[in-house]
Amino acid sequence: MAIGVKVMKRPTQQTSYLRATLKGMALTFSHLLRPKVTMQYPEEKSSKDWTLSSRWRGTHRMLTDEQGRAKCVACGLCPQICPANCIKLVPGEDEEGNRYPLIYEIDEFRCIFCGYCQEVCPEEAIHVGVHYENSEYSRDRFVYDLERLSAQTHPVSTLWDPSDPKGE
């Protein structure tokens, strides 16, 4: 016994695809006239509508004093606070007998960019940077030593300020 299929009788404007196609095309072409949001990276890295947040936590930077020496005094707080255990520090003395890091290395692969090192630093020496272009040709280049950290020039993070939680 054949199954009886019920056929709906619909008006012509609903069975024709022309109307829906034109409607879709109109929406598509209307985008040509809207303002552009695409940024031409890498030629263009920020625009007036969008910049990297000043609280961005990227690869580190060591600040230096007037003589160009790292401000770090090797107090040992950043390796202590670091949850990823990515900072290697060996304290020593400089020529004037001041406490100074003999070895200061950050493994950026291990780093989770929490920013605790910047927060804990009593000398305001180590900072996380507002920076994200880190590609290298070899893995070992991702262990930044003191010289490399001091040579970075990108801006440093302001971190989150509890007295100004929304960054206003």
Enumerate binding residues for another protein (CB under 8 A).
73-77, 80, 91-93, 98-99, 122-123
Of 49 and 96, the one with the shorter C-beta distance to another protein is: 96
Give the separation between CA 72 and CA 29, rounded to whole angstroms. 58
Q: At its nearest, how many Å lie between another protein and the CB of residue 151?
A: 23
Q: At its nearest, how many Å lie between another protein and the CB of residue 111?
A: 20
Of 75 and 143, the one with the shorter C-beta distance to another protein is: 75
- Are 153 and 77 in contact by the 8 Å Cβ rule? The answer is no
Of 94 and 161, the one with the shorter C-beta distance to another protein is: 94
Residue 88 parent element (H or E): strand 87-93
Of 74 and 130, the one with the shorter C-beta distance to another protein is: 74
Q: Record the tokens describing residue 87, joined without a space.
A: 């900072």
Q: At its nearest, how many Å lie between another protein and the CB of residue 122?
A: 5
- Write the DSSP assignment of 99-149 as a string of letters: EEEEEEEEETTT-----HHHHH-TTS-EEEES------SSGGGGEE-HHHH
- Are 79 and 72 in contact by the 8 Å Cβ rule? The answer is no
Q: At its nearest, how many Å lie between another protein and the CB of residue 34?
A: 55
